[in-house]
Amino acid sequence: MCKLKSHAKPQRSKETKGTNQESLASFFFSLWLAALREFVGFIDMQFAQASIKCETDFSLSHVSFPVMNHRKFNHTDFSCAEIGLGCWQLGGGDWGEVSDEQAFDILAQAVDLGVNFFDTADVYGGGRSETLIGRFLKSTPAEVFVATKLGRLGIYPDKYTEATVRAATEESLRRLQTEALDLTQLHCIPTEVMRQGEVFDWLRTLKQEGKI
């Protein structure tokens, strides 16, 4: 009897298939891990170079910046930069120590870059931020719009009266060395105080008197 030869390919065992797939997965994982290590090494090197650059040259005088865009500040004729400078850090304490010289450098650099809007509050550094801004503005011809805030320093959470709001406003005027605040804002005061509405009447009176 004649036996027919089978042309079918021999079947690989499931165990062999699994082993090959695991080897292939391990190979690609090794490639991915090596690439990741190279990328992380590159990023570390970039940060190290940036750190050295910052330590040796803090000045931005060599950097070219686009011209600052401006727009009219609401209900005023003031042409305000679209980017302002937050000045909480000038108060020190919460953000680490900031010397007077460093604070003035920050303010001057901002003005040089076209910023003419500073945001501060009486509670930043217990008034230090406002004081530094006031001293800086006396030393520069630049016209800067200063937005400050009241409501946290000495009167939070339950000492809101016409007298305390007036006193807080007058203290900001003194520290900023100005006769009228460009803008004052209620700084996270309790919702119930705002709901009662008297605080807004007190602010309107101060505005009518030319203090705001």
* Catalytic sites, residue numbers: 124
Tokens of 194: 């705002």
Helix 128-138, helix 162-176: angle, nearest 10: 40
**What is the C-alpha to C-alpha distance for residues 45 and 39, in angstroms, rounded to an integer?**
10
C-alpha torsion angle, residues 58, 64, 65, 66 (rounded to 10): 180
**Rounded distance between C-alpha atoms, residue 198 and residue 163, angstroms:** 12
Q: How far apart are CA 193 and CA 181, in angstroms?
A: 22
Q: Is the dihedral of CA 59, 62, 63, 64 positive or negative?
A: positive
User: CB–CB of 133/98 below 8 Å?
Assistant: no
Residue 119 in contact with residue 84, Cβ under 8 Å? yes
Q: Which residue has the tokens 């850090």?
A: 89
